[in-house]
Amino acid sequence: MALFVLDAHTSRLPNVLTLPAFAVAAAVPAMIPGANSLAFLGGLGWCAIAFALPAVHPRLLAGGGDAKLALSTGTLASIADPLGAFVAMALSGILHCVFVSPAGVARGADRIRGTPHGPAMLVGSGIVVVASIILIAP
């Protein structure tokens, strides 16, 4: 919740919250029986995509905080299946377009910074994590 609120209001994701979250997210799959033991690859994949997208087009820029957040959200989203990170990416993109971008336009978000991606990433990943827990549960 702290990351959601901070990013929504300040467009910043502080290291003090994003980096420890990855360490916790990397440990969670090891504690869940039947979880994907390579779930951290989903986080690394989402992080790599966040860093690579600006090379495709400058308007696809995500901040460094978003890339660090992708490490933990992608790892958690990949608990049941490595494709979970890609589903979470798709959901977060849709949520960002539908809910966050119009709000940013309404409040006058500038063209350089745009609107924060973190809230949509957290909600999209949360949906996938809940679905994963339901699928893994005996």
pLDDT band at 123 (very low <50, low <70, confident <90, very high): very high
Sequence-ordered list of residues with C-beta below 8 angstroms from that of 47, at least 6 positions apart, any chain = 67, 68, 70, 71, 74
**5-43 pLDDT tens trace:** 888 888 888 888 888 888 888 888 888 877 787 888 898
Spatial contact of 9 and 15, defined as CB atoms under 8 Å apart? no
Number of domains the chain contains: 1
Spatial contact of 118 and 8, defined as CB atoms under 8 Å apart? yes
**Could you tell me the pTM of the whole model?**
0.82
